[in-house]
């Protein structure tokens, strides 16, 4: 089948151009000047006045993740359907190995959860939750499985936490294999002490989640991770950065030409400790703030953390915006921590809104159109070994394409554009000056004219190569 997209403005990370795009079956086969060639196509899409961009790649999601005595409320089926509505055509989720478990078993479990249940293409990072000889040996087979990145945690003692010796050993192995080390950089043992002290003082409201996870805990762990990566010469990718001081550590390392990279999330660009978690007005009761409990936590806008995230995106000290999509409903899930913020499942749902929220940054003059595409699609593809097939509109690439209307309007809310499996939206009331009109995944129309046409079995597992950012 041939599909022809006409009259649109094609935006890649390298720039913009007026071009028609020809798709044959699942692949882009040609770009040419508008109207310069006559092509017989079964489907013609008129993108006049609209942007034609590569489908979004969300490189940090947690579908069905077990956490805090419950599971993330989005399954692979519901989460990838919501992603498609929002212009995301590929996710990279996390296969989990906990202490005492085999890496191979964790990866196989996640394959079983996702296979046949994804509306869009998907891949995995591997969480290494227990470093020993067996898990280090298992890392040697990850690249052959198309899993070329793994994640460790400096937080959550007793669950995923790894000490410096374990991190050192894993980084040495990663350098040997060319794997990307992803790090949750917060000083978990110190955070647990602060949280215990706050609870003992009767300070148990959701607001204190962010106080316990102070910015110093993120800065310190980020610096320590960078030093361990420097010692082992391992590439390092810090996930969900929220503190300006932590970003300064990444900038310092990058100024020394180190293979250190940083990711932030929409919540750290728009939401704040004051506006969301500092909720004490009649409109928001104290526990309503649990909607925005996540880790790393929301930071103070007054202290400049949000502006620092935008600055990092402009200077390329931060290379990507993922969501850390890990949604929980208020009822029966967030409510687990009604009497103690330490029991609130950590997570925010954003997989449906990332493309829109970053486009608002274009409208607001914070980033350019090519930088928008670079952040939401091209850099994730390059960083995690998918570029060429994903992250770009060019001959030979998968036909993962979004038609975006800059004159459209997106109103976010549970009764409006919300398709995630949650009973609330962390983005309730946000208005976006743009709209996803059509989403194609490998040439298949998933969303068009406000209707969903996808199938849960459409998505395929993407075997990834090594990162294209490594020296």
Alpha helices in 233-345 (DSSP H): 244-255, 266-270, 305-315
How many separate helices (H) and strands (E) can be counted in the chain?
A: 13, 23
- Are residues 44 and 127 located together in one domain of the fold? no
- pTM for this entry: 0.97
Asked whether residue 459 is domain-assigned, the answer is: no
- Are residues 270 and 163 located together in one domain of the fold? yes
Asked whether residue 30 is domain-assigned, the answer is: yes
Q: How many residues does the chain have?
A: 471
Other Cβ atoms closer than 10 A to 329: 17
Asked whether residue 465 is domain-assigned, the answer is: no
DSSP 221: H
Asked whether residue 147 is domain-assigned, the answer is: yes
- Are residues 47 and 149 located together in one domain of the fold? no
Half-sphere exposure of 255 (CA within 13 A, CB side): 7
Asked whether residue 460 is domain-assigned, the answer is: no
- Are residues 364 and 428 located together in one domain of the fold? no
Other Cβ atoms closer than 10 A to 71: 17
- What is the rounded distance in angstroms from the CA atom of residue 431 to the CA atom of residue 420? 18
- Are residues 306 and 194 located together in one domain of the fold? yes
Asked whether residue 296 is domain-assigned, the answer is: yes
- Are residues 37 and 139 located together in one domain of the fold? no
- What is the rounded distance in angstroms from the CA atom of residue 151 to the CA atom of residue 128? 6
- Are residues 347 and 413 located together in one domain of the fold? no
- What is the rounded distance in angstroms from the CA atom of residue 274 to the CA atom of residue 282? 15
- Are residues 343 and 277 located together in one domain of the fold? yes
- Give the strand pairing for 149-153 and 180-184: parallel
DSSP 342: G
Asked whether residue 118 is domain-assigned, the answer is: yes
- Are residues 90 and 42 located together in one domain of the fold? no
- Are residues 372 and 402 located together in one domain of the fold? no
Answer whether 460's CB lies under 8 Å from 377's CB: no
Asked whether residue 242 is domain-assigned, the answer is: yes
- Are residues 141 and 23 located together in one domain of the fold? no
- What is the rounded distance in angstroms from the CA atom of residue 29 to the CA atom of residue 40? 14
- Are residues 345 and 371 located together in one domain of the fold? yes
Which domain does 209 fall in, by range? 56-383
Query: How far is residue 22 from each of residues 27, 30, 83, 135, 311, measured CA to CA in Å?
Result: 9, 5, 24, 45, 37
Per-residue pLDDT of the chain (471 residues; tens, 9 = 90+): 999 999 999 999 999 999 999 999 999 999 999 988 888 999 999 999 999 999 999 999 999 999 888 999 999 999 999 999 999 999 999 999 988 889 999 999 999 999 999 999 999 999 999 899 999 999 999 999 999 999 999 999 988 999 999 999 999 999 999 999 999 999 999 999 999 999 999 999 999 999 999 999 999 999 999 999 999 999 999 999 999 999 999 999 999 999 999 999 999 999 999 888 775 544 556 899 999 999 999 999 999 999 999 999 999 999 999 999 999 999 999 999 999 999 999 999 999 999 999 999 999 999 999 999 999 999 999 999 999 999 999 999 999 999 999 999 999 999 888 999 999 999 999 999 999 999 999 999 999 999 999 999 999 999 999 999 875
* CATH code for the domain in which residue 216 is found: 3.20.20.140
The dihedral sign for the CA sequence 391, 392, 396, 400? positive
What is the total count of domains within the chain? 2
Answer whether 90's CB lies under 8 Å from 119's CB: no
Where is the domain boundary, 324, 354, 383?
Answer: 383
* CATH code for the domain in which residue 427 is found: 2.30.40.10
- Residue 71, helix vs strand vs coil: strand
């Amino acid at each position: 089948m041939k599909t022809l997209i006409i009259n649109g403005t094609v935006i890649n990370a390298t720039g913009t151009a007026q071009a028609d795009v020809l798709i044959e079956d699942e692949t882009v086969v040609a770009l040419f000047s508008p109207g310069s060639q006559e092509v017989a196509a079964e489907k013609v899409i008129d993108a006049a006045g609209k942007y034609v961009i590569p489908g979004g790649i969300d490189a940090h999601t947690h579908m069905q993740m077990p956490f805090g005595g419950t599971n993330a409320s989005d399954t692979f089926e519901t989460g990838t359907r919501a992603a498609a509505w929002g212009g995301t055509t590929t996710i990279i989720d996390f296969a989990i190995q906990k202490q005492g478990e085999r890496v191979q078993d964790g990866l196989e479990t996640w394959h079983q959860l996702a296979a046949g249940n994804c509306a869009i293409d998907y891949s995995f990072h591997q969480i290494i939750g227990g470093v020993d000889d067996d898990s280090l040996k298992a890392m040697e087979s990850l690249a052959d499985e198309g899993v070329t990145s793994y994640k460790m945690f400096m937080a959550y003692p007793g669950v995923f936490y790894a000490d410096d010796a374990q991190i050192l050993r894993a980084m040495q192995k990663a350098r040997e294999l060319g794997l990307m080390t992803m790090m949750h950089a917060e000083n978990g043992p110190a955070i647990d002490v602060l949280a215990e002290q706050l609870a003992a003082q009767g300070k148990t409201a959701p607001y204190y989640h962010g106080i316990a996870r102070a910015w110093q805990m993120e800065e310190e762990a980020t610096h320590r991770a960078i030093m361990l990566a420097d010692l082992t010469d391992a590439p390092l990718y810090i996930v969900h950065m929220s503190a300006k001081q932590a970003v300064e550590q990444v900038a310092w390392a990058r100024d020394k030409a180190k293979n250190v990279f940083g990711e932030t999330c929409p919540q750290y660009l728009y939401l704040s400790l004051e506006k969301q978690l500092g909720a004490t007005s009649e409109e928001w009761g104290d526990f309503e703030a649990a909607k925005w409990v996540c880790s790393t936590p929301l930071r103070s806008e007054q202290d400049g953390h949000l502006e620092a995230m935008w600055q990092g995106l402009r200077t390329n000290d931060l290379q990507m915006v993922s969501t850390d999509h890990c949604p929980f409903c208020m009822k029966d899930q967030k409510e687990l921590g009604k009497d103690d913020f330490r029991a609130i499942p950590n997570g925010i749902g954003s997989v449906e809104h990332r493309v829109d929220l970053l486009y608002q940054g274009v409208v607001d003059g914070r980033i350019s159109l090519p930088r928008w595409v670079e952040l939401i699609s091209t850099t994730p593809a390059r960083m995690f070994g998918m570029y060429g097939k994903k992250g770009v509109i060019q001959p030979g690439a998968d036909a993962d394409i979004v038609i975006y209307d800059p004159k459209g309007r997106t109103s976010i809310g549970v009764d409006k554009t919300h398709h995630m499996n949650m009973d609330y939206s962390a983005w309730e009331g946000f208005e976006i000056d743009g709209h996803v009109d059509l989403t194609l995944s490998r040439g298949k129309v998933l969303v068009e004219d406000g209707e969903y046409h996808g199938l849960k079995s459409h998505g395929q597992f993407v075997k990834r190569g090594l990162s294209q950012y490594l020296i």
